[in-house]
């Protein structure tokens, strides 16, 4: 349920309510507390981001080039803020008279999900779960649930399909 159909649509939450929600979701009460994303998950999240860019940082002293997947990652490595990185990209100036920062190639987006039938034949491929959800006219959450459970579901004319990550296709 989202948009105009959501029971809270058009209503503003009071600051006290927002603070109560923040407190309820912080620290060890957060469902993801103590867990970390696997490298595979990080890669999938990165590929699913349509605005992914790579940054090339050239160290003028060592004549070394380093590629970062995010502005924040480059900022952490150089010991400055993300805004500093953005400003130096716009101006073309050096950070600390040493580092040149420029935008590299856009990360290529390739299909990350495929839908297969019971015979294992690939029927559809999608860039991300939202695209898959739109095609099957279900919510994104439904697609994510089907991905995690790895079960077949009924589609048109009783065809049974399963959603899986492309890297899992050799199983």
List, for residues 15-25, the tens digit of each pLDDT value: 999 999 899 98
pTM for the full model? 0.41
Query: Alpha-carbon distance 141 to 127, whole Å?
Result: 16
Q: Over the chain, what is the mean pLDDT? A: 83
Q: pLDDT tier at 171 (50, 70, 90 boundaries)?
A: very low
The angle, 0 to 180 degrees and rounded to 10, between the axes of the packed helices 129-136 and 140-149 is 110
- The C-alpha R_g of the chain, in whole angstroms, comes to 22
Closest CA to 68 of 45, 93, 85, 83: 85
Tokens 């459970």 correspond to 149
Q: Tens digit of pLDDT for each residue in 65-115? A: 888 878 888 899 999 999 999 999 888 889 989 999 988 866 555 667 888
- Domains of the chain and any CATH numbers: 52-106 (1.10.10), 113-168 (no CATH)
With vertex at residue 47, the alpha carbon angle to CA 151 and CA 113, rounded to the nearest 5 degrees, is 25
Q: Is the pLDDT of residue 153 over 90?
A: no
Burial (0-12, 13-18, 19+ Cβ within 10 Å), 126: buried
């Amino acid at each position: 349920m989202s948009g105009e159909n959501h029971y809270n649509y058009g209503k503003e939450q009071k600051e006290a309510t927002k603070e109560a929600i923040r407190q309820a979701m912080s620290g060890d009460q957060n469902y993801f507390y103590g867990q970390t994303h696997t490298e595979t998950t990080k890669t999938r999240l990165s590929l699913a981001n349509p605005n992914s860019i790579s940054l090339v940082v050239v160290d003028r002293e060592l004549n070394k080039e380093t590629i970062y997947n995010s502005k924040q990652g480059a900022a952490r490595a150089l010991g400055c803020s993300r805004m500093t990185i953005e400003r130096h990209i716009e101006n073309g100036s050096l950070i600390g008279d040493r580092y040149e920062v420029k935008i590299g190639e856009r990360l290529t987006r390739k299909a990350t999900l495929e839908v297969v039938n019971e015979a294992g034949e690939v029927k559809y491929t999608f860039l991300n779960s939202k695209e898959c959800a739109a095609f099957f006219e279900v919510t994104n959450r439904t697609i994510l649930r089907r991905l995690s459970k790895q079960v077949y579901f009924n589609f048109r004319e009783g065809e049974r399909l399963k959603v899986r990550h492309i890297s899992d296709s050799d199983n």
